Structure 1
Amino acid sequence: MFTGIVQGMAEVVAVQEAEAFRTHVVVLPQALREGLETGASVAHNGVCLTVTAIEGERVSFDLMRETLAVTNLGALAVGDRVNVERAARFGDEIGGHAMSGHVMAMADVVELDEAPNNRRLWFELPEALARFVFVKGYIGVDGISLTVGAVRPGQGGQGARFAVDLIPETLSRTTLGERVPGARVNVEIDPQTQAIVETVERVLASRSSD
């Protein structure tokens, strides 16, 4: 489990490609390597990955076909950075919200609004996920626990959109400070929200069929 509180950014320093498979290597600072062992879980842009090798500050992770297809990790190149979070431990403070590290889809950055000391980013979502996103609800964007600030329904050929507001701390500590229109981010819907919405839908559907 993860909390969506990004602990830092890691630079991709090597990529090894294979058929429907890749291994990427990142440099992790000492603070994030403390106690790290092969087999441990580390989130990269919100994607739960398993440590496959540790060589000093260089840590390797394997990316399977599904990860490459559903997330933005398949587009990473040497020199790119990812948001990193170690798996949560029992007793840790959860400053964000519970996240599984299972990205559901990608969303496109479509608009950027600058304001003094903060920034608003707008994203366009796959329509199938729009029903889970509402103002003041939680959402995971590239592994960051964020609160939805605004929602626009799909119309005029545009898909459903949502916005998040970013403070300077988030912009400096995560890759969202680098995101501009045209970029793609990983999205994880809040699992509790998803469960509630789907349960209500099933109840309403059963009542309407009676």
Structure 2
Amino acid sequence: MFTGIIEELGEITELSWKGEGAVLAVRGPIVASDARHGDSIAVNGVCLTVVTTDGESFTVDVMKESFDRSSLAQLTPGSRVNLERAAKVGDRLGGHIVQGHVDGVATITAREPGDLWEIVRFTLPPDLARYAVEKGSITVDGISLTITEISADHFSVSLIPTTLEVTTLGRKAVGDLVNIEVDVVAKYVERLVTPHTDRLAGGAR
């Protein structure tokens, strides 16, 4: 589990394709400092498992499923990525519950700089729209953010200077793709109530 609070802006140093999968090498001295084989690290919001580490960098295997559901296939050596280690039991939950299981990909459609913050607008995939609400949490490239405005096919967030400085969202441009993970609590609630709402709907006929 993660919290969506980015620890470090890392860099892709190597991407080696192996059939439909690949091995990523990532430089991130902070997250790699205590990383061990088998540990989980979120790379742009995608939970990946450490294979090797030298204390400065680490490698991960990326499966076809991860490439199909995320924007990881667009990474190249030199790409900057958001990094977060898995949360420890007892840590402060500064963001929200993030699994690192990307639900889909969105596109940045607008950026509106302000005096103290910047409003960034994204497309909202139709199959994820029901899980997003104004003032609710959403994960963008691994960053825990609050939705400030929402419509049927778009949502917006307001980014403070710190977020712009220490994450990839300060460098992304209109048209760039980002990974989206909706609030897992909303998905569980839907799963739990659907049988009851279906039964009630059936009885009303």
The one-letter code matched in structure 1 to 2:61 is D
Measured in 2, the distance between the counterparts of 1:54 and 1:34 equals 9
Matched, 1:95 2:94: yes
The aligned counterpart of 2:23 is 23
The aligned counterpart of 1:156 is none
Q: Is the deviation greater in 56-65 or in 200-209?
A: 200-209
* Residues 1:202 and 1:122: Cα distance change in structure 2 (over 3 Å): farther
Q: Secondary structure at the match of 2:92?
A: coil
Map 1:6-155 onto structure 2 (within 5 A): 6-29=6-29, 31-153=30-152
Q: Secondary structure at the match of 1:78?
A: coil
Q: Secondary structure at the match of 1:101?
A: coil
Per-residue deviation, 1:11: 0.5
Per-residue deviation, 1:49: 0.3
Q: Secondary structure at the match of 1:60?
A: strand
Per-residue deviation, 1:197: 3.5
Number of equivalences = 203
Per-residue deviation, 1:193: 1.7
Moved over 3 A (4+): 197-202
> Which structure 1 segments of 5+ residues have no match?
154-159
Matched, 1:190 2:189: no
Per-residue deviation, 1:201: 4.1
CA RMSD of aligned residues (A): 1.2
Give the alignment partner of residue 163 of structure 1, picking from 156, 177, 181.
156
Per-residue deviation, 1:198: 4.1
> Which structure 2 segments of 5+ residues have no match?
none
Measured in 2, the distance between the counterparts of 1:104 and 1:204 equals 24
Measured in 2, the distance between the counterparts of 1:83 and 1:33 equals 13
Normalising by structure 2, we get a TM-score of 0.95
Q: Secondary structure at the match of 1:192?
A: helix
The one-letter code matched in structure 1 to 2:11 is E
Measured in 2, the distance between the counterparts of 1:93 and 1:166 equals 21
